[in-house]
Structure 1
Amino acid sequence: MKKHLLSFALFLGLVAAAAEPSFAARAISGQEQRQDDHDKDHRKGQRAAHDPQKRLDAMAKELDLSSKQKDKVARIFQEQQQQMQALRGQSGQDRSQHKAQAQSIRQSTDKKLKDVLSKKQYAQFEAKRQERMRQMGNRPGGKQRGGFERRDTGSRS
């Protein structure tokens, strides 16, 4: 009788061991599928955020831009995009030079936008920008790219 119980226990152990990898593989496959779905949704959201036409249309709606303003803003953003792409294509610059030039391009774009938008529209634009910056800072994983928080470099007493 003990032999039969031992054989039955061994048999159950083998069946369980054979089923375990299959179960684990299905569980991992399900996790991978959920991650793939999440990644697709995330990339879709990023594409929408980086689509210049969608960005312009949303801005035109939020700020109630005239068609003339919308055309001018489109040209300003297109010029900024070209300048930034050219800057990215440059090699041999150190990081501080690159950041300074990018900042200069952004400041130039802001000045042009100020000339095209009314004071009220520009204030709304700036408020929306600040809100986006706040949201980016509140994302899980960190305050800036790479997940690192900016440290206060002010004097301490």
Structure 2
Amino acid sequence: MKKQLFSLALLLSLGTSIVATAAPVLPGQDHDRDKISRSDHQDRRGGKDRQQDRQRRQDELARDLDLNAKQKSKLEKIFQDQHQQMQALRSRKGIDRSKMMSEAQDIRKSTDKKLKSALTKAQYAKLEAKRQERHRDMGQRNGWQQNGRRDFGGQRRG
């Protein structure tokens, strides 16, 4: 009898959790996630906030690298071009993941060459150091270790 009650309670809890997580479908609303691209999803978050974030990061970079006005405008143009190229890449339909990753890497390499030519060697070295620091911080936040492997809870495997 206890097993039957336990089984019934388990089934009821699973049923209610499934119902609770299901989103209601409103008339005229399409919930097919495959039809919603990543950029469309991000646009609904508020483009103004992302633009302000991008501007804040550029201002911070200009301050950290001690850019002059000419360099600052060059970098803004470089990053704007990169942003447009990445958006165009994300909006392409039917492209497989490996090809998309490869093209994104090509865009980043091209951007890096432009940055190298717009900055002094010392400024570029500072930029690279900031990139490495950000990469390391992101890895630690996500639990990744030096060897690229992680365990649940971010514990080192090995």
Q: TM-score, normalised by structure 2?
A: 0.59
Is 1:135 matched up with 2:137?
yes
Structure with the greater alpha carbon radius of gyration = 1
In 2, distance between residues paired with 1:78 and 1:115?
Answer: 16
How far the C-alpha of 1:51 sits from its partner, in A, is 1.6
Which residue does 1:150 correspond to in 2? 148
The 5-angstrom pairing of residues 75-90 of structure 1 reads 75-90=77-92
Root-mean-square deviation over aligned CA pairs: 2.5
**Counterpart contact for 1:69–1:117, Cα < 8 Å:** yes
- 1:113 corresponds to which residue? 115
Higher relative contact order, structure no. (Cα contacts within 8 Å, ≥ 6 residues apart) = 2
Matches within 5 A, 1:1-157: 51-139=53-141, 141-143=142-144, 150-151=148-149
| Counterparts of 1:70 and 1:58, CA distance in 2 | 11
* CA distance in structure 1 between the partners assigned to 2:137 and 2:94 by the alignment: 33
Give the equivalent residue in structure 2 for 1:5.
none
Shift of the 133–112 alpha-carbon distance from structure 1 to 2, 3 Å rule, reads same
Deviation at 1:142, TM superposition (A): 3.3
Aligned-partner SS, 1:138:
helix
Deviation at 1:95, TM superposition (A): 0.8
Could you tell me how far 1:134 is from its partner in structure 2?
0.1
Higher helix share: 1
Q: Using the alignment, how far apart are the partners of 1:93 and 1:129 within structure 2?
A: 28
**Distance of 1:99 and 1:78 partners within structure 2:** 20
TM-score, structure 1 as length reference: 0.59
Structure 2: 5+ residue runs without aligned partners? 1-44, 150-158
Runs of 4+ in 1 over 2 A off after TM superposition: 47-50, 141-144
Q: Alpha-carbon deviation of 1:124?
A: 0.2
Q: How far is 1:50 from its partner?
A: 7.6
Matched length = 102
Asked whether the 8 Å contact 1:49–1:55 carries over to 2, the reply is no
Letter in 2 for 1:52: R
